[in-house]
Amino acid sequence: MIRHIDVAAQKIFEMKEKEPAKFKRLIDEGIMIGLGVDLADRNEEMAPANKIKKQNRPKDPEYASVAESVIEGNSEETVKLTSALLEKGKDPTDLVLNALMPGIQTVCELYDIGESYVPEILLANEALIGGVELCQERIGEVPSQGKVVSLVIEGDVHDIGKNIVVAILRANGFEVVDMGSDITVEEAVKAVKATNADLVTGTTLMSTTKGGIKDLAEILYSEDVPVACGGAAIDKNFVETFSNSVYGKTPLDAVKIAKKICAGKSWKEARNELY
């Protein structure tokens, strides 16, 4: 018996060193139990996974069901629910941003805390794509506002965010050449010349590949085609260390940047007017 307590105490001391946040929670909860507080309800609500789901859950219950079907990676259900909402006259862009996107966002955040794994992400991404494609079909042909080349830079396969940006740009009337992921600067320059694009959107999520976005913007300077830069590894301070680029955080920022550039503004004007 005493030996077991010794082991437990040893583990708690190790936890104090290695996982201070967990240690603090253990002590706090111990004090609360000592005071007679029932932690069962509180734990359920405050569990990190539940907190993430709650924070991302759309307020509209119909949108929440779409998000839930993406979280479950259920493509069939996502398509069915999205289709029903489109039939009811819901705006396709709103559906992408406020029903489908919160679903994938939840799975990605759950992955960060070890509550979701690669297969779940891939299934959720498939469900997302199913819903996004339906929304795009509904939007149909929109008079072109300008041409955009979209890509994820060389060495990076993270294309979920780029796919959302592409869908929202298309919904807003931009002709988008979607090059996919792991695209070299040379491939991108070739596509820009071949399509006579007005703008490139470059995405990256990894610190090891963000230099590629800078190289792309600098090389495209001679073509007079700026790069809208986004994705989790990119921030405004980084983008301001090089020219011919405009930072954006959300898919709607990509639309704002594209509108300015396609209306003939320079990258400097777009930067000044947006930030």
What token pair was written down for 93? 């862009």
| Beta carbon nearer to ligand B12, 81 or 101 | 101
179 in contact with ligand B12 (CB under 6 A):
no
Residue 109: strand, helix, or coil: helix
Amino acid at 142: V
> Which CB, 141 or 166, lies closer to ligand B12?
166
Q: How far is the CB of 92 from ligand B12 (least distance, A)?
A: 16
112 binds ligand B12 (CB under 6 A): yes
Among residues 64, 177, 232, 274, the one that binds ligand B12 under rule CB under 6 A = 232
**Smallest distance, ligand B12 to C-beta of residue 108, A:** 4
What one-letter code names the amino acid at 104?
I
Binding-site member from 53, 90, 147, 158 for ligand B12 (CB under 6 A) = 158
Interface characters, 114-153, with ligand B12 (x: CB under 6 A): ----x--x---x----------------------------
Greatest CA separation found in the chain? 78
Q: Assess 154 for contact with ligand B12 (CB under 6 A).
A: no
Taking the least distance from each CB to ligand B12, the nearer of 5 and 118 is: 118
Cα 128 to Cα 198: distance, rounded to the nearest angstrom: 28
Q: Pick from 138, 133, 128: which is nearest to 77 by CA?
A: 128
Q: Which helix (H) or strand (E) holds 45?
A: helix 39-46
Q: How far is CA 101 from the centre of its chain?
A: 8
Token pair of 173, please? 């009337």
State whether the Cα torsion 236-253-250-136 is positive or negative. Answer: negative
Read off the amino acid at residue 29.
E
CB of 238 to ligand B12, least distance (A): 12
Select the residue interacting with ligand B12 from 142, 157, 194, 263 (CB under 6 A): 157
Does residue 105 sit in helix, strand or coil? helix
Contact positions vs ligand B12 (CB under 6 A): 104-105, 108-109, 111-112, 118, 121, 125, 155-162, 164-165, 201, 203, 205-208, 228-233, 248, 250-251, 253-254
